[in-house]
A and B are shown apart, each in its own frame.
Chain A
Amino acid sequence: MSETAPLFEARGLTKRFQGLVALSEVSFRLERGAIMGLIGPNGAGKSTLVSLIGGALAPDAGEIRFEGARIDHLPPFRRAHLGIGRTYQLTKPFPGLSVLDNVTLGALFGAGGGERDRAKAREQAREWLDFVGLAPQAAQHADHLGGPDRKRLEFAKVLAMRPKLLLLDEVMAGLTPAETDSAVALIRRIRDRGMTVLVIEHVVSAIRRLSDRLLVLNHGQLIAEGEPAAVLRDPRVVEAYLGRRRA
């Protein structure tokens, strides 16, 4: 593990579902402490990429490196221990448990194997619930939460894992503009705590403000990477992603 290696690197990642090529030869790096935005039209392969990084899906070709070491053969729980935390676009709470217990689970396991002590994990969970503004619902059953609150829970749960790399798959979807603003501020504060963030979002204005750099996927291919303003001016991006919205 060398200090000069980027925190994360993907090389030639390819994933097929039967005939469909969901990702094709995707390569990119994430530098420590960066916020990388990932955009692309529906079905572009964004969530598939998150699942490949988290280990829920196995790539058909390519390499995934974390802190310089190959991780593509590791099961999801090991990647979580290494410090990779992901949210699910279709949230996956522990439905029968309270909101607090859900987040406590993140703290009890997660990066480095997690906190051993249940009482301490609970305390940490309360702090993260506070952080995402879900503290009043702490005692509720997770399956009683409404849409945006489910996203908040998913967010708090992954934060409690104390990951080095945070993969956020549309955690801001369904939020009001005001809520989106506070989510943007939250993610900045996360980064200031030393986490590296890959954030998927459809709201272009939010992602432009939030990201240091931007990746654009279209039909499973990485079509642009760079400064948000420059990427969003790229004609291919305009055509593939924004053009479709204008139409």
Chain B
Amino acid sequence: MKWRWLALAPVLAVLAGVPWLGDAVLIQFGINALLIATLAQSWNILGGFTGYVSFGNSAFYGLGAYGTAIAMAQWHQPFWLGLALGAVLAVVVAAVLGGPILRLRGPYFAIVTLGISAALSALFANLDIAGKNIGLILPLTRDDAMFYELSLGLLAAATVAVAWIARSRFGIALIAIRENEDAAAAVGVDATRYKLAALILAAVFTALAGGIHAYWITFIDPAGSFDTTLDVRMVIMTMFGGPGTVFGPVIGAFVLSAIYEVLANGISTAAALFFGLVILLAVIFLPKGLIDLGGGFRALGWRYFLANIERHRL
């Protein structure tokens, strides 16, 4: 499918041109959308491919934010060093926690991941170097175009990584784990190692997004950095767009970000309600995500939606 990649060039060019074409509001919306899309894409590496549903990735986001903030605000180091510190912290936490928690399956894994962010939030709220529960103020840089392009670059890198995974032996091992972990092991898949690699890769991209966001908003605190509502959003956006696919999470994140932005300008309860409704309908009619809609509809027509409902019957 080489043509698909060629078709991406103009899309990428248009996206990259936004800071020169759009207004300040659009650029800010763009940065947020690109970063949340990066989170969804990162979540996809473990959640989409192996089926291990994590509600703890915001921990990596927070570590990325704090790594960057501590390096810049406390140690007066350059931004890129901060990003690196954040990524290293996230990798360490992923590697240490991954061993025990990735042994748990299904809902047990999901439940355990729920606590990670809260625990780290409490930890950082008591660290002097992290500014305790007040937080840290980073040096101010008013350059939204730079933040936008950085975010776009990060999303592109995460997507290239996922595209590579989808074609690699590593990726098919992750999918085998999702489809049947015992059978995967019997066939010779080192599930422990592959799951851990997926988690660490997800942690790196998530932490980098956290670092960019921290520098952009210039102020971080425990509650805002270890934000568990982010976890729900990455899961929903990936599921909505198409888990385990290359572009699904990105499309899901963009579409839902846009819908939410439009609705949030109106009445906020209506926005939340509509958001919930969209998700409900998507789960029922599009269990494989938005990305499956084109091909599925072409093949089956309206029956596609009925076939999807059939899927839910056990």
Partner of A94, one of B168, B179, B188: B179
Interface stretch, picked from B53-61, B81-89, B108-116, B170-178, is B170-178
Is the C-beta of A114 less than 8 angstroms from some C-beta in chain B?
A: yes
Is the C-beta of B180 less than 8 angstroms from some C-beta in chain A?
A: yes
Give the bracket for the number of chain A residues in contact with chain B.
20 to 34
Is the C-beta of A164 less than 8 angstroms from some C-beta in chain B?
A: no
Is the C-beta of A21 less than 8 angstroms from some C-beta in chain B?
A: no
Partner of B179, one of A77, A81, A95, A110: A95
- Which residues on A sit within 8 Å (CB–CB) of B13? none
Q: Interface digits, A153-169 against B, CB 8 Å rule (1 contact, 0 not)?
A: 00001000100000000
User: Which residues of A107-142 have CB atoms within 8 Å of chain B's CB atoms?
Assistant: 108-111, 113-114, 116, 118
- Which residues on A sit within 8 Å (CB–CB) of B188? 77, 80-81, 109-111, 113-114, 161
Q: Interface digits, A94-108 against B, CB 8 Å rule (1 contact, 0 not)?
A: 111100010011101
**Nearest-CB residue, chain A, relative to B191:** A77
Q: Interface digits, B190-218 against A, CB 8 Å rule (1 contact, 0 not)?
A: 11000000000000000000000000000
The total of chain B residues at the interface (CB under 8 A) is 20
Interface stretch, picked from A28-36, A85-93, A194-202, A210-218, is A85-93
Partner of A80, one of B168, B175, B187: B187
| B187 contacts A157, C-beta separation under 8 Å | yes
| A109 contacts B189, C-beta separation under 8 Å | yes
Is the C-beta of B183 less than 8 angstroms from some C-beta in chain A?
A: yes
Partner of A108, one of B169, B179, B180, B186: B169
Is the C-beta of A56 less than 8 angstroms from some C-beta in chain B?
A: yes
- Which residues on A sit within 8 Å (CB–CB) of B180? 92-95
Partner of A92, one of B167, B173, B178, B183: B183
| B185 contacts A110, C-beta separation under 8 Å | no
| B169 contacts A116, C-beta separation under 8 Å | yes
Given the interface pairs A94-B176, A116-B169, A118-B172, the reply to whether A109 lies near B183 with Cβ below 8 Å is no
**Residue among A80, A94, A113 facing the most chain B CB atoms (10 A cut-off):** A94
- Which residues on B sit within 8 Å (CB–CB) of A56? 182, 185-186
Partner of B182, one of A85, A92, A101, A104: A92
**Residue among B167, B168, B173, B189 facing the most chain A CB atoms (10 A cut-off):** B189
- Which residues on B sit within 8 Å (CB–CB) of A96? 178-179
Given the interface pairs A94-B179, A95-B180, A97-B175, the reply to whether A110 lies near B187 with Cβ below 8 Å is yes
- CB of A166 to closest CB in B, whole Å: 12
A77 to B193, CA, bound (A): 11
- Which residues on A sit within 8 Å (CB–CB) of B167? 118
- Which residues on A sit within 8 Å (CB–CB) of B183? 88, 92-94
**Nearest-CB residue, chain B, relative to A101:** B172
Given the interface pairs A92-B180, A95-B179, the reply to whether A105 lies near B186 with Cβ below 8 Å is no
- CB of A47 to closest CB in B, whole Å: 13
- Which residues on A sit within 8 Å (CB–CB) of B175? 94, 97
Further contacts, 17 of them, CB under 8 A, given A77-B190, A106-B187: A56-B182, A75-B185, A76-B186, A77-B186, A77-B191, A80-B186, A85-B186, A93-B183, A94-B175, A94-B184, A97-B175, A108-B172, A110-B188, A118-B167, A118-B168, A157-B187, A161-B188
Ordered by A's residue number, 26 sampled pairs between the chains whose C-beta atoms are within 8 Å are: A54-B186, A56-B186, A75-B185, A76-B185, A77-B187, A77-B190, A80-B185, A80-B186, A81-B188, A85-B186, A86-B186, A88-B183, A88-B186, A93-B180, A93-B183, A94-B184, A95-B180, A96-B179, A105-B187, A108-B169, A108-B172, A108-B173, A109-B189, A113-B188, A118-B168, A157-B187
Measured CB to CB, the residues of A under 8 A from B are: 54, 56, 75-77, 80-81, 85-86, 88, 92-97, 101, 104-106, 108-111, 113-114, 116, 118, 157, 161
